[in-house]
Structure formats: structure tokens, C-alpha cells
Structure 1
């Protein structure tokens, strides 16, 4: 009955084919954007805003559950057997597993009662997702957004409109054009061919697998011989994201500031893609062995990332101690009374050579004669002027109000997070 209703919508309802095609491809596009969003947040250290991160991961779990219930509803050959496999996982629960499965099925096997219950879940959960999305935005409004540099931008804020609204509108328009192209020319390129065959309770497909956005989790499930162990690992593949903030050992706020962590991250992304491919293949060699190895690396990435960060931070500290010298470049902030603004300068501009601490200040006072604030002397840190110019070029409005203690502290933290100080 369910399969025939989908057929009726596509063939008899005006523009029914378009509605179904948009529904299918929007779901695929949404998961693609979600994975990009989570990957970007992981790379740029957005998980430091834990309220935003935890609500986002919870929203991801809810979206995955909603997508699975929707995948079953057409009641095709692949969707039916996928529901049979996934729903039977609860039987791995000790003692009460079989009773829970019967309660979910509404009988002793997946049937029409199960379909009605999944339809109810698929209809209700989007409203819950809207509420969770509002909570996600509320946390974001409280903490503020991150940025690719992983630095504090509290003193260089910009308006949401028209800076971000126009940028986001361009992204939405490009995505909409790509979606329309997919619906118009390749509406079912991401749909398994078995989904167009009515479900047959007596004919099991040769290879049962979910949609592409669940394949990495399905590969992790298959990599463990134990049924209970595979289910636990599959759930942990998403739940582990909750613990990423606790595994972060770096001083800086972004993986972009750690060279070896960047390499490790992109290897992990490639590993995720390989797991997706492995999940779509049949259970045979070499896919069994490769799936096991990829699963191990998928979970080991998170603690290894913390160790690599610790090693990089400490290796740089060791290099700084070995290079310790009294003759070093200086960055100096001073108040220019003529232009009525804070300015910076560095020792190579005074004769093109380096000065010791006391000699530099005596020379600077004799040449300039301006009143200076000693708190702007960073004589204990090595710094290259090209890095300073790059930092100032990134945030041209970030150095206003330097006479304010709070703004001054934020500016210093910005340079330290960028690795300059």
C-alpha cells in the first residue's frame, strides 16, 4: 500500500514527481552540508564553544534518526530490508532486547504497524529539530561565532546584515541552482535501484546497505564480529564528537595552527570517505580487513590529535629556549600625539640593527620623544614584522580602542593565538 501511494503521487498528482525528487535530493544535500559543517567546526576548533557544539551534535543525531525513518517509508525492497536489519539491532540488548524489538515492530516482525509508527516519528521529529535548532542558535548568539584563524574577534565585530546575510544568500543560491540541476537531469542518481522494486518478504537482496550518508556507520557496524559490539561502535562514531573538547590538548584554538594536526585531519577525512565506499560493498575481502583498519583509525584519530598538539606546542617551546638571546627584534606600541592614535614600531627600523632591552628603550626615547606605555613592550618574545603586518591586515578594525584594558587584552590574545607571540 505504501509503495503504491508513492507511485500514485509520482504519476497522478500534478508535479508529484518534482515534490518527491526535491524531497529526496534535499535530504542528500542537507547531509552533505551537515558533514561539511561538522568537519569545518572540528578543523577550526568550534567545539570550544561547548554549548553550541553539544547542541549541534544532538541535532545531527536527531536528523540521522529522522532520515532513517523517512528512508523506510516508500516500502521498497531495499528500504524494507534495511528497516529489518536496523530495527533488529535492539535484540542485542541483554534480557529485554526481544521485548523492545516486538514493541518497536508492533508485532513479531517488521510490518504495516511498524510502518505507521515510523511515519509518525518521521512527521513529529522535524518539529523537535526546529526547537533544537533554535537552542543551537541561542547558544551561538551567546558565545559568538568562531573564525578560521581561531582567534578572539570581540573587538572587531561586524554587522550580520549585510556582511553575512549577503554571503549566506550567495551560498544558498548556488546550492539551490545545483539542487535544481540535480532534480531536472539526475533526480534518482543517489537512489539505490532496489528502492524502485516493491518489498518482497521472501526475497532478500544480495547486498543490504543504507543510503550513502549512513554508509560510514554501516561499515563500522560490520567491522566488529560481535553484534552488540558493532552497535555500540556505530553509536560511538557520532557520540565521540561530544568528547572532542575534552581531548583537545593544544594551546591554540584551531587545527590550522598545527601543521602535523592538519595532515592528520585530512588523512582522517580520507579515511571517512574510504569507510563510506567500504560500507557500500559486499561483506568479503578485501573490504572486511580494510573496514576493520579504517574503523580503528577513525576512533584513534581523536586521542592522537591531542598528543600531536601537545608535542607540537612543547617542541616550539623547546626551540624558543634554545634560541634564547638578549639581542632580538622588538615590537613597541606607543601613543602618537600628532595623529592621536596608537602606533607600533620595531627595532630594525631604528638603524636596521637589533638592540638589547635597555639600549633599545634609551634610543627610542631619545629619537622619538613620545609618551609610551610600558605594557606594550613585547621584548620577551620573538616576532617577525611580516607576521604583524599580516595580522593587522586580517583585522583592520581590530586595533581601535587599545587604551582600554579589555580591548588591549583581547588584542594580545589574538596575536598569541595566531602564534605570533
Structure 2
């Protein structure tokens, strides 16, 4: 059995952690990205070979070829940019190297490294980015640390309904709004999948253009398709001759430095995770990135749909009937007279499909459901209060009130 080599899509996770982990700071300094990377690297601390790849700041070949590429994206928020160097300090303390190559995106660096080392290692690409799924084969896998799922060739086909090698063609046809690639007018995801199943790739579609429905025929532009394919296809031939396996081999973590950094950023919950845990069972050799230690509480479908309904349409207040009406009046009319159990069974796949399309899976499964378990435990067991601290705060607040009152009265005279 080959050893595993982990390639982490660092730039993608900078944004993922920034927007997914809210309201985390220490003395006014934002720390959500630093915390996210710390959790991620702790979940992979037993890996022997690991490298984190970041986008280059320089203009890439995609931007040179297509001015609209990622043009719609706003500049990096200051609250994120100030966390990049502290994040790299954490990475180095874990004994891990990172790599940026001028003029290239992290995806292309990962693609080139994966191809270079896949005959000697099982390549595990750590990402949630759909672009990288085009690399999956018998030696290259995708690991989603948020969902704790590893995608092999079969699972990738189940996810996209096409083969990994067709994903760049799919994105060229259907477009990729996150990258500013418009795709071909009149071709959505379902049509793109059907065309690729029928004609294999863009070349096959162009060659059989006369067989396509008239409304699609007129929109097929070979030059545009070639351009879009050049944007969606990953570059596997970057010059990385100077990157040896020794650069990717993880060195011993500097536990003392990590502990100091965790204390500096007030990551108290992570300090204990630096030491090896006894009798720890790892699912698929990974720990879940957002795992929290809470009692197991079964989530019934009714509760799941209430949370899903709220996320799909907050005005529904978790009422699945109101949410169904928001989605489609005919759907509401179809389910309104159903028995509750029948209604839930019918709506579940519809709601979950919408959750996926709206990119709310993380919020539902990694935030709302775990929070529900915590709240349920609190309802059952209550919460512990430190009475002495409350008394202390009462005294402190009363003293502050009197201080302010005295200050005001010194200016305007006695107050009733």
C-alpha cells in the first residue's frame, strides 16, 4: 500500500474559513482564518507528506487570455489579508511547507504536483473546489474536510454524473459563475451533462453540432468553447523540477511554538489537541474539521426539514408548508393535504437538493445541526452558573454606574 501525500488548496480555504467561521477575534484582531487552518492541520497532524499551495499575486495566464476571468470578485477583505502571515506562521510551526509560483493558481500547482508524484503515492487533494475533481483517477483522490468525505473515481462520477476528465468540458459549457466564465448561452448543467454523455467532450459536441437541437446549435461557438476550456482545464506542466519529495515531507511540529501561538490567539480549545489522543478512532483516517465534543442526539427528518426550511426561506420560520409555498405554489398544493410523515418524506429530497444548490450544506450540517444538539443538551441538563462571578460582575457594574452618576452630577447637578 502506497503512502499518502496531501496537497492542500490553501487559497480556497483562506476564503472558506473567513466566511464560514464568524465573529472570531482576539483583542480586536480577526482570527477566524488562523483558527480554521489550525483545526485543519491538527486533523492532518499524522500525515508524513503534506504541502499547502497558494495562488500567486501576479497576473495568471487565464487573466491574460480572458479579461473577465474572476473580474466580478471583490478585493480581498482587510480582515482576511491581515491573517495570511500569521496563518503561514502556524503552517511553518506544524513542520509543513507551502508553495506559491509566480503567474499560477494553487489549482495548477496542485495538478502538476499530483501528476508528478501519483505513481509513488496516493495523492489526497484537500479541497472543496469543484475544479480539482477533474484530476481524480485511480491514484488521485479528493478529501473534503468539512463533510469528512473522500472522493474516489466512483464517488466523483456519482457526484457530478460525468467522468472526472469531462469536468473541465462541463464547466466550459455550463459556465462557472465563481470564476466569471459565462459558458454557452442556453446550456445549463443538465444539458451540459447530457451533451457530454452523448458526445464525450467539446470536440465531439462541435463535430456533431448539426445533430443538436436548433436552439443550442446556433449558440455553439467553437472559438468560445476552446477559450473557456483553456480556462477550466488545469495546467499540469508547470516547471517544478526544483520541488523534490523532501520539500513535501513534513518535519516535526514545534509544539512549544504552536502552544504559544494558540495562547496568543486564545485558541484554548486547540491546545489539548497538540498531544496524541489515546483511543481515538479516526473515520477514514481523518478527524472531522468542525467536529465538536457533544452527546450524540439523533436528528429526525422533521427537525432536519424545519432547519432546512428556515435556511431556504427565513421568513418561513422553519414552517415546511410555508417554505414549500415559497418554492412553488403547485408544490404547496400537492403536499398541503398529505399526512405529516408522507409530507416529510416527499419534501426531504426537494429541500436537500435546494440546500445543495444554494450552497447551504455547510451551514445546515456543520452549524445548525450541531447547534441544535447543544441546545437540546442544555434544555435537558440546564446550564451551570458561576454565582460568585455573577456577584462580582454585579458589584463591578454598580460601581461603574455610581462613577458615571457622580461624573454627570458634577457637571449638571444632582439627579433624581
Same fold (TM over 0.5): no
**Greater radius of gyration (CA):** 1
- Please give the TM-score of this superposition, normalised by the length of structure 2: 0.23
Instruction: Name the structure where helix makes up a greater proportion of residues.
Output: 1
